[in-house]
Amino acid sequence: MINIFQPNLGPEELAAVQRVFESNWVGKGKVTDQFEVQFAAHVGVERRLIRSVSCCTEGMFQAMTLLNVGRGDEVILPTISFVGAANAVLSCGASPVFCDVDGRTLNPTARHLEERLSPRTKAVLILH
């Protein structure tokens, strides 16, 4: 194996992790809020436009809310995926619509997605 990236974690990073643990809020809380405020300033956008998540599942649930996916909507996702994707769709009252995947890549192709499109399609959720 050729190592092309080696993280460099030192005392500053360990202290940051310790501050999070000491806050008793691993995924949210004051430290996360401070990060989001600082990141919004760094990229030059309003604070309300920044959301951070501690895992992809949380991100998928937030995406459904942010996209206003709801009852009567359909979201297309590949048959080979993580259960959290369908759970995120179902949690807002929408219907998951599963599409086939390419046997070589295990990802849907444009043709697979097109076959499942309907007037009720609100989103396509591709998982990598």
For residue 124, give both structure tokens: 């396509």
Residue 1 falls inside a structural domain: no
Q: Say how far apart CA 117 and CA 41 lie, in whole Å.
A: 39
Structural domain count, the chain: 2
Residue 68's pLDDT is 96
pLDDT averaged per 10 residues, the chain (length 128): 80 91 85 93 95 89 94 96 93 97 93 97 91
Does 17 fall in a domain?
yes
User: Do 78 and 102 share a domain, yes or no?
Assistant: yes
Q: Which H/E stretch holds residue 95?
A: strand 95-99
Considering the domain architecture, whether residues 60 and 120 belong to the same structural domain is answered as yes
Q: Tell me, yes or no, whether 62 lies in a domain.
A: yes
The answer on 69 and 36 residing in a single domain is: no
For residue 26, the model assigns a pLDDT of 80
Phi, psi of 18 (to 5 degrees): -60, -40
| 72 and 115 belong to one structural domain | yes
Q: Give the containing element (helix H, strand E) for 97.
A: strand 95-99
Question: What pLDDT is recorded for position 119?
Answer: 98
Compute the distance between CA of residue 107 and CA of residue 122 in angstroms, rounded to an integer.
Answer: 20
Residue 70 maps to a domain:
yes
Verify that 91 and 60 share a domain, yes or no. yes
pTM: 0.73
Residue 117: domain span: 56-124
Instruction: List the Cα angle 53/108/82 in 5-degree steps.
Output: 40
Quick count: other Cβ atoms within 10 Å of Cβ 6? 6
- Kindly state whether residue 6 falls inside one of the protein's structural domains: no
Residue 68: inside a domain:
yes
Same domain? 19 vs 43: yes
